[in-house]
Chains A and B, each alone.
Chain A
Amino acid sequence: MAFSVIPDVTLKGISACVPKTVLENRNLPVFSGDEVKKFIASTGVERKRIARNDICTSDLCFHAAEQLISDLNWDKSGIDCLIFVTQTPDYDLPATSCILQHRLGLNNEVIAIDISSGCSGWVYGLNVIASLLSAGNHKRGLLLVGETSLKFCSTEDKSTYPLFGDAGTATALEFTKGGEGLKFHLATDGSRFETIIIPDGGYRNMITSDSFSSFEAGQDIKRNPTKLFLDGMNVFSFGILRAPESVNLLLSHFDLDKNRIDLFVFHQANLFLNEMIRKKLNLDTEKVPYSLRDFGNTSSASIPLTIALNCQKLAHSPARIVACGFGVGLSWGSVFFETDNLVCSGLVEI
């Protein structure tokens, strides 16, 4: 069992940035008939934000980070750790975290790491950056997590394009002695790596002219192998099994009282799936915030975005939070952490 406790690290602040451009699902031509109504009722996604071609995930994360650093009143020279989690980097190489180190004006004495991860990415990134900070060798860290998923979804695929939205986030952490520490359960099942995949464009299946041949994979589902494939049934089956299981394992392993948790923040997959998870865990609706309606499934950004949008109480009082991410990999995990007067920036739009 992949449990871990990471002491002496505090989550200081969270911010999120989205593109200004709103895409209304009702206006998408991908649906035939009145299917859009059923889609919205089932997924809960009415609209989302879409990044123009000249806006990368790193741009969204950059602006989220600048706002958060300013709101925290942090001296940039004190930041010595930067992790960027995404599957839409600026380039195949170099790592985008290096570019962000320079662009944010951080000094050269910084560890900068890219992590390729999707819907579980914030939880995994949190584990890695907290581990780096925990020993006290590094004092302040930025976890930048985001995705511009719509760039790799086929506009003619009703199973992906209406579901996803673009967002970038920043989470600030600090080495601080004391506190309960962050507690994790993390897990992986690579046997099912083809459940959510972009088949062509890496080094296993390099791009050929065939990569751009579109095919019909079902009604209103047309894409080519450079675009995202998502096996909706198997993702649903995986999510309703593994997300509640992971949260229950976390709570029981660390003897955490469910009633003393103030907020359960789940990766925003879709409303039907997320409500199944909430009901299986028997959680009150007011403890389980959503960002699906206006922002869609924002992949790895969905947990910090949802926290940033529901931050009013967190900004003025201590809170005990459980977050759970699950998806591409397949990869999933849960984390428990405490906050005290969390610094929450207002939503940044570019």
Chain B
Amino acid sequence: MELNDFLKNFSELFEETDSSGFKPSTRFRDIEEWSSLLALAVIAMADEKYHINLTGDDIRTSQTIEDIFKIVRSKK
């Protein structure tokens, strides 16, 4: 799995944020649109696109989008 694909899938969950603003190093909690519902959408995306079960703890311990990517990759 590619980091760029993951970044694209991650950015597509957001409706109001310009996709050009998403970098692997982006601290996702700093994105204004970030919310508890978007956290669920990330878990759903990992399940649908990668068949990986992300937990709430996985999201909580991550700071950047790349952190989540690494967890998804490690569970592959």
- Bound-state CA distance A241–B54 (Å) is 10
Q: Which of B54, B56, B59 has the most CB of A within 10 A?
A: B56
Q: Which of A159, A233, A240 has the most CB of B within 10 A?
A: A233
- Bound-state CA distance A276–B41 (Å) is 11
Report whether B56 and A231 are in contact in the complex, using a CB–CB cutoff of 8 Å. Answer: yes
Contact string against B for A residues 252-288, beta-carbon threshold 8 Å, 1 for contact and 0 otherwise = 0000000000000000000011001000100000000
Q: In residues 36-69 of chain B, which contact A (Cβ within 8 Å)?
A: 36-37, 39-40, 43-44, 47-48, 53-57, 59-60
Supposing A159-B36, A276-B47 touch, asked if A240 and B53 sit within 8 A by C-beta, the answer is: yes
Report whether B37 and A233 are in contact in the complex, using a CB–CB cutoff of 8 Å. Answer: no
Report whether B47 and A234 are in contact in the complex, using a CB–CB cutoff of 8 Å. Answer: no
Which secondary structure dominates where chain B touches chain A? helix
Report whether A272 and B40 are in contact in the complex, using a CB–CB cutoff of 8 Å. Answer: yes
Interface residues on B, range: 10 to 19
Report whether B40 and A236 are in contact in the complex, using a CB–CB cutoff of 8 Å. Answer: yes
- Return chain A residues, CB-CB under 8 Å to B60: 233
Contact string against A for B residues 7-25, beta-carbon threshold 8 Å, 1 for contact and 0 otherwise = 0000000000000000000
- Bound-state CA distance A240–B55 (Å) is 11
- Bound-state CA distance A237–B54 (Å) is 6
Q: Which residue of A lies closest to B58 (CB)?
A: A237
Q: In residues 11-30 of chain A, which contact B (Cβ within 8 Å)?
A: none
Q: Which of A42, A240, A241 has the most CB of B within 10 A?
A: A240
The count of A-to-B residue pairs whose CB atoms sit within 8 angstroms is 46
| Residue from B47, B48, B56 within 8 A of A233 (CB atoms) | B56
- Return chain A residues, CB-CB under 8 Å to B39: 232-233
Contact string against B for A residues 213-240, beta-carbon threshold 8 Å, 1 for contact and 0 otherwise = 0000010000000000001111011001
A204 within 8 A of B: no
Supposing A38-B37, A159-B36 touch, asked if A234 and B55 sit within 8 A by C-beta, the answer is: yes
Closest chain-B Cβ to A160's Cβ sits at a distance in Å of 12
Contact string against B for A residues 161-180, beta-carbon threshold 8 Å, 1 for contact and 0 otherwise = 00000000000000000000
Q: Which residue of B lies closest to A220 (CB)?
A: B36
- Return chain B residues, CB-CB under 8 Å to A42: 37, 40
- Return chain A residues, CB-CB under 8 Å to B59: 233
Closest chain-A Cβ to B70's Cβ sits at a distance in Å of 17
- Bound-state CA distance A18–B26 (Å) is 47
- Bound-state CA distance A273–B43 (Å) is 11
Q: Which residue of A lies closest to B46 (CB)?
A: A237
- Bound-state CA distance A322–B36 (Å) is 31
- Bound-state CA distance A307–B39 (Å) is 31
Closest chain-B Cβ to A151's Cβ sits at a distance in Å of 24
| Residue from A39, A218, A236, A280 within 8 A of B43 (CB atoms) | A236
Closest chain-A Cβ to B48's Cβ sits at a distance in Å of 8
Supposing A240-B47, A276-B47 touch, asked if A232 and B40 sit within 8 A by C-beta, the answer is: yes
Q: When A and B form their complex, which 3 residue pairs have the shortest distance between CB atoms, in order from nearest?
A: A233-B56, A234-B56, A241-B53
Can you report 8 A-B residue pairs in the complex whose CB atoms are below 8 A from each other? A218-B36, A233-B39, A233-B60, A234-B57, A240-B44, A241-B53, A272-B37, A273-B40
